[in-house]
Amino acid sequence: MKLAGKITVVTGAGSGIGQAIAQTLAAAGARIAVVDFSETGGQETVRLITEQGGEAFFVQADVSHRSDVERYVKAVVERYGRIDILCNNAGIGVAATVTETTEEDWDRVLAVDLKGVYLGCKYTIPVMLRQGGGVIVNTASVAGMVGVLNRAAYCAAKAGVVGLTKSIAVDYVSQNIRCNAVCPGTVDSPWIQRILSQQPDPVAERQRMVERQPMGRMGRPDEVARAVLYLACDDSAFVTGSTLVIDGGLTAR
Ligand SMILES: NC(=O)c1ccc[n+]([C@@H]2O[C@H](COP(=O)([O-])OP(=O)(O)OC[C@H]3O[C@@H](n4cnc5c(N)ncnc54)[C@H](O)[C@@H]3O)[C@@H](O)[C@H]2O)c1
């Protein structure tokens, strides 16, 4: 197993892409700390992993709060004594152009999507340094690489995640810490289902969304999770500071 016994934190693991990452890494042998602010979602992920014969426990935390991040890092270190892999995946979005974005929405999106990654790294990297290394995989987005209509704060936050990923990669390359990001395109998660359900005609909107995809379909959470597995394991030993795009060709044209 590629990740046998590796102690792994996955944030936003209570739903969608994070849940798939947690399950995929657990199936590869990792022991998972499921971090999410949703107790229901987090416990469901623990149940799914345990059912498939894996090991997981839940820590409720808001990744944008320093004290919560310190608490989840402490909980994992108290239990296992180390953190081998950190997947900063929790994220939120707001649909608005820059002029429409309220200051509250701007602050909240940046706090969860970018500050959450900063805090996760800030408190986990010292643990990794003590143990002689580790791996970080951040969930960015194609919205961090190209402009996506009506997503000003989200694009800014995800571009920030790409920059932070590269910065960490160069700062810690000689200390055996690798840091990479995945950049998913449109992935059929509960997030997308929520966005569609808010539209006047969700079925027609889903059809339009699918038609925008070069492959004629959206991605699946497990397709992102397998890219994260690659970046988390030794198959990618020479890869750091990279952004792996998983978008079915969306940004290629
Ligand atoms: N679905 C897509 O099309 C898509 C595309 C590109 C990138 N992404 C990114 O993938 C990640 C996961 O998205 P998803 O589609 O699975 O969304 P989702 O809404 O299905 O899941 C997000 C999870 O994060 C948790 N979460 C949100 N804010 C949190 C906080 N402050 N602290 C702790 N947990 C929090 C939620 O409770 C939820 O369980 C996000 O970073 C998102 O930006 C998604």
Atom of ligand 1 nearest to the CA of 142: 6
Spacing, Cα 157 to ligand 1 middle (Å) = 13
Q: Is the pLDDT of residue 87 over 90?
A: yes
Nearest to 230 by CA among 128, 137, 165, 168: 137
- The mean pLDDT value for 202-227 works out to 97
Q: How does pLDDT run across 64-81, given as a tens digit for each residue?
A: 999 999 999 999 999 999
Atom of ligand 1 nearest to the CA of 15: 39
- The pTM for the full model equals 0.99
The domains found in the chain, sorted by start residue, are 7-184+221-244 (3.40.50.720), 185-218 (no CATH)
Reported confidence tier of residue 86, pLDDT bands at 50, 70, 90: very high
Give the pLDDT confidence of 39-67 residue by residue, as tens digits.
Answer: 999 999 999 999 999 999 999 999 999 99
Summarize pLDDT for 117-160 with one digit per residue, the tens: 999 999 999 999 999 999 999 999 999 999 999 999 999 999 99
Residue nearest to atom 18 of ligand 1 (CA): 191
Give the ligand 1 atom nearest the CA of 143.
6
Q: How confident is the model at residue 253 (pLDDT cuts 50, 70, 90)?
A: confident
pLDDT of 84 reads: 99
| Ligand 1 neighbourhood includes 209 CB (under 6 angstroms) | no
- Strand, helix or coil for residue 179: strand
Which residues fall within 8 angstroms of residue 170, CB to CB, at 6 or more apart?
A: 241
| 18 close to ligand 1 (CB < 6 Angstrom) | yes
- Name the 3-class secondary structure at 186: coil
Distance from Cα 36 to the centre of ligand 1, integer Å: 10
pLDDT class of 161 with cuts at 50, 70, 90: very high
Q: Which atom of ligand 1 is nearest to the CA of 116?
A: 31
- Which of the listed residues 11, 17, 108, 183 should we mutate to test ligand 1's pocket, taking the one with most ligand atoms within 8 A of CB? 17
Q: Which of 90, 93, 92 is nearest to 59 (CA)?
A: 90
| Structure token digits, residue 46 | 């623990």
Structure tokens at 185: 């395109």
Element of type H or E holding 135: strand 134-139
For residue 191 and ligand 1, the question of a CB distance below 6 A is answered with yes
- Check residue 250 and give its pLDDT: 97
Task: List pLDDT tens digits, range 11-42.
Answer: 999 999 999 999 999 999 999 999 999 999 99
* Cα(118) to centroid(ligand 1), Å: 16
154 is catalytic: yes
Q: How confident is the model at residue 194 (pLDDT cuts 50, 70, 90)?
A: very high
Amino acid at 23: Q
Catalytic residue chosen out of the listed positions 80, 154, 172, 230: 154
Residue 209 in this model has a pLDDT that exceeds 90:
yes
CA of 174 to the centre of ligand 1 (A): 31
Across 170-184, average pLDDT? 99
Task: Report CA(193)–ligand 1 centroid distance (Å).
Answer: 12
Residues 95 and 71: beta-carbon distance below 8 Å: no
pLDDT tops 90 at residue 223: yes
Atom of ligand 1 nearest to the CA of 65: 31
Please provide the DSSP assignment of 25-85 as one string: HHHTT-EEEEEES-HHHHHHHHHHHHHTT-EEEEEE--TT-HHHHHHHHHHHHHHHS---E
Looking at the predicted structure, is the pLDDT value of residue 197 above 90? yes
Ligand 1 mean position to 109 CA, how many Å? 11
Tokens 């990669």 -> residue: 169
Identify which of 28, 41, 8, 20 has the alpha carbon closest to the alpha carbon of residue 184.
20
